Amino acid sequence: MLVQFSNMVIPLLILSVLLYGTYKKVPTYEAFVEGGKEGVAMAVSLLPFLLGMLVSITIFRASGALDAFVHLLEPVLAVFHIPPDIVPLALTRPISGTASLGVATDIIQNDGPDSFLGKLASTMQGSTDTTLYVLTVYFGAVQIKKMGDALKVGLLADLIGITASLIICYILFS
Amino acid sequence: MVNIIWAGLAAIGIIYALFNGTMEEVNEAVFSGAEEAVALTITLVSVLVFWLGVMQIAEEAGLLDKLAKLFRPLFTRLFPEVPPDHPAMGYILSNFSSNIFGLGHAATPFGIKAMQSLKKLNNNQSDASRSMITFLALNTSSVTLIPTTMIAIRMKYDSIAPTEIVGATIMATLVSTVGALLIDRFFYYRRQRSL
């Protein structure tokens, strides 16, 4: 049921936008091209972030250090039924969106997008935003010096998001 | 923080390889990692161009404004210190609507605008006000309907059902948003008590 719903969401959304846009006399094709131009710039601006992080992670993994680290954590993780391979993603998610995107990609590439781990990584990456980025950009832009409880609230929210992804994926995909 | 993690991962990897005898693998990793990133960017271009194009149509047709109207009653409760007709409320709603569609680039300018008006409401003080913290909590837990980037990456690695994760993502995002707002309230009442 849920899988079918998931597959319907995007085509139906596109259909409604196109129909509604035409009904509202929006020059649909021209608007599409206009918006699409930004996509090129966005993807290209992500490249250095992705490249740097992917190289660093690939080195870490290829050297065998990742396996050693995860092996060290295994007893603790087993208690909570957390797959050890997801740990690097859970740790980077609140700190940097582009960095964690690199980590998530690495997991999907290695275990396959349709594996449990691949789905978990996709859900975890997709369902929360980067606290540190939001904090830096938004508070930086208006020069807020005292953040109050903002950082605590943000990081706790990330913890909830990560835990929720884990539980939901166990229920749906395992 | 990111800097330490980034440099640390590579440095630890290289030092570990020295002792583990995996230098050859590390050598290969430098180039394969970089190549992977370029290939990934090309996939991202295809999805982002399409999606941002569709969203531009939605915006010009006024769909984002419609969505903002829909959520207004809820948001006047979430931000009791912001007058419902204040421009800050409008920016908060636009930011939220853009986030729902995974339009991070559109959400950010609205978010900054919202923060600027919230600061004005707070007599231009340099401390974060209650509304600012709530707004931040809402943004870091980000309600996302379509995780565009993740779908693109799943497609790139030949997923048989790239959009299968949409349902799980929506559920997880709802839980984390509700959680974030509850935590925000909790900290607010704790601050009130300590005054």
Chain A contact for B100, CB < 8 A?
A: no
Distance from chain centroid for Cα B120: 24
Task: Encode pLDDT of B75-101 as tens digits.
Answer: 889 999 988 778 888 888 888 877 777
On whether the CB atoms of residues B164 and A115 are closer than 8 A, the answer is no
- Collect all residues with Cβ–Cβ distance below 8 Å to B27 and sequence separation of at least 6: none
* The pTM of the whole model exceeds 0.80: no
Task: Encode pLDDT of A67-91 as tens digits.
Answer: 788 788 878 888 888 888 888 888 7
Q: Which residue has the higher pLDDT, A86 or A6?
A: A86
Nearest to B182 by CA among B140, B137, B128, B145: B137
CB contact under 8 A, B53 and A18: no
CB contact under 8 A, A64 and B40: no
Task: Encode pLDDT of B152-169 as tens digits.
Answer: 889 889 989 888 888 899
The DSSP bridge partners found for residue B14 are none
Whether pLDDT at B149 is above 70: yes
Whether pLDDT at B178 is above 60: yes
Number of other CB atoms surrounding residue B156 within 10 Å: 21
| Dihedral in degrees, nearest 10, Cα atoms A134, A139, A140, A145 | -140
- Looking at residue B127, its amino acid is D
- pLDDT for residue B102: 64
Q: Residues of B with CB below 8 A from A65's CB?
A: 12-13, 16-17, 20
Q: What is the ipTM of this complex?
A: 0.72
- pLDDT for residue B26: 92
In A, residues 3-62, which contact B (CB 8 Å cutoff)? 3, 5-7, 9-10, 13-14, 17-18, 20-21, 23-24, 26, 28, 31-40, 42-44, 46-47, 50-62
Residue B22 has its nearest CB partner, among A44, A56, A63, at A63
Distance from chain centroid for Cα A87: 14
